[in-house]
Amino acid sequence: MLLKSKNIILHGAPGTGKTYLARKIATDIITNGEFDDYTRLNDEQKKQIEFVQFHPSYDYSDFVEGLCPKINDDGSIGFELRDGIFMEFVERARKNYENTKKTKDDIKKEIMAQELMEKFFSAIDFESTSFKIKTGNEFKITDIDDNKIYIYIPNNPSIKNITIDVEKVKRMLESGKEFKQIKDVTQFFNDKVQTQQHSYYFAIVKEIKERWEKEEKRRKLNKDINIEKLKKFIFIIDEINRGEISKIFGELFFAIDPGYRGKAGEVSTQYANLHLNPNDKFYIPDNVYIIGTMNDIDRSVDSFDFAMRRRFRFVEVKANEHIEMLNSLKNEKIKKKAIERMESLNNAIVEVDGLNTNYQIGAAYFLKLNELTFEQLWTDCLKPLLEDYIQGMYDEEDIMEKLAEAYGYNELRKGNINEDTKG
């Protein structure tokens, strides 16, 4: 179902186990059917599943990317671009997807480039070792992290500090190209104009090659080269209809379309001009699947956006499904009673004019019996919900009396039924 559709929405009455089912589906997919119990996944497998819950204040910056405040080195407040939870997740999937397309020679080049960089940066003295760009201007490397190389330019009267991208240096080394001029760097990255950073990419790559490349060419790579296996990644959005869908997804509504997965659906994000490479495009690979959950009767949200609706397959989860959730109750006797009361109550609900199966009560509500008695479950959980359902109806009191009778509350109150939840 999900493997073919790419995107599905599990919808139905409250407590029917939509979130429970979403986790089961996700677990089943990433384990290739070995099991569907999420708790059995190892840490690496859990990275293939992400979970988020939408709400009215959730927006594009939370989901895709946005500007977040940061404290600069001088104590001032600035802003930096940060990936949202969905973009971070998709990047993990994209990396896996693209790695599966690489040849053993590609992987060998990547390993060699990584080792060249590690040797180079471990050999230099940060803030002390000096280098020169092609014009002869001096610079020093002050630090490096997973993403950026930090550069200090002592003789530059206007800009003393710049950063360049670690990944771009690796790409230049992996390419095996000979960069004779700075314009070669500009062309390599498909940039329209030459920038200050290009001079430093050129200088650092040249230094790395001069120091280590001869040694690396003499050395055989004594590592086993294994091509990465394709993994499936499942993103679960709970209460998907509680957020403003078109605002949260933005331009990604096009990219998530099953017919436009991969490069065919690549888009520029709203903040593309702030990326290290403004020409970079975002796309969702074929190994990403989306599961949404929603309550059909949630009156606090607007109807599901029609442009997004046609990009999902809608699957109804009925109240009488996934009774197996009740296996976690204390004993079989309680479980049996819970099923009987749930079925009786749900039969009475659909007989009320104005209500239907969307208003039935799912098994998840009865899991509360591990902490509550049957009477408490009615008075504290079910009764308030049902009263909200029938609010404004002409015969509210009579309806509630019939529903209470169907649940067996009257007998509980009179003490005619044993309320011992220990069985």
Q: Domain with 287 in it: what CATH number?
A: 3.40.50.300
Q: Judge whether residue 305 has pLDDT over 90.
A: no
Question: Does any domain span residue 355?
Answer: yes
Statement to judge: residues 14 and 117 lie in one domain? no
Q: Which of 25-39, 86-100, 213-227, 328-342 has the lowest mean pLDDT?
A: 213-227
Shared domain check, 166 and 238: no
Give residue-wise pLDDT tens across range 268-304: 999 888 876 777 889 999 999 999 999 887 755 555 6
Question: Is there a single domain that holds both residue 185 and residue 287?
Answer: no
What is the model's pLDDT at position 226? Answer: 80
Confidence band, pLDDT 50/70/90 cuts, at residue 422: very low
pLDDT higher than 80, residue 215: no
Asked if pLDDT for residue 223 goes beyond 80, the answer is no
- Do 401 and 362 reside in the same domain of the chain? yes
d(CA 259, CA 119): 45
What is the maximal distance between C-alpha atoms in the chain? 95
pLDDT at 421 > cutoff 60: no
Asked if 26 and 49 touch (Cβ cutoff 8 Å), the reply is yes
Residue 420 belongs to some domain of the structure: no
User: Within this chain, do residues 170 and 232 fall inside the same structural domain, yes or no?
Assistant: no
Domain closes at, from 218, 244, 261: 218
Is residue 418 scored above 70 in pLDDT? Answer: no
The model's pTM: 0.80
Residue 322 located in a structural domain: no
247 and 310 in a single domain? The answer is yes
In-domain check, residue 377: yes
Domain termination residue (choose one: 317, 349, 368): 317
Q: Can you name the residues that pair with 11 across neighbouring β-strands?
A: 294, 316
Q: Above pLDDT 90, what percent of the chain? A: 54
Share of the chain above pLDDT 70, in %: 92
Which of 218, 253, 285 terminates a domain? The answer is 218
What the block records as the tokens of 178 is: 């000979």
Instruction: Identify whether residues 67 and 6 lie together within a single domain.
Output: yes
Could you give the number of structural domains in the chain?
3
Q: Are residues 62 and 107 in the same domain?
A: no
Compare 404 and 299 and report the one with higher pLDDT. Answer: 404
The verdict on 238 and 89 lying in the same domain is yes
- For the segment 170-192, what is each residue's pLDDT rounded down to a tens digit? 999 988 888 999 999 999 988 88
The band of 84, judged by pLDDT with boundaries at 50, 70 and 90, is very high
* pLDDT number for residue 73: 63
**Minimal CA–CA distance to 415: which of 369, 357, 373?**
373
Report whether pLDDT(320) > 90.
no
Is 82 found in the same domain as 11?
yes
One domain for residues 207 and 134: yes
C-alpha atoms less than 13 angstroms from C-alpha of 132 in its C-beta half-sphere: 4
Residue numbers of the domain that contains 350: 329-414
What is the pLDDT, as a whole number, of residue 423? Answer: 41
Report the distance separating Cα 41 and Cα 332, nearest Å: 28
Top-confidence residue, 125 or 279: 125
Q: Distances from the Cα of 47 to the Cαs of 6, 40, 323, in angstroms? A: 19, 13, 29
Output the CA torsion sign for 26, 32, 36, 38: negative
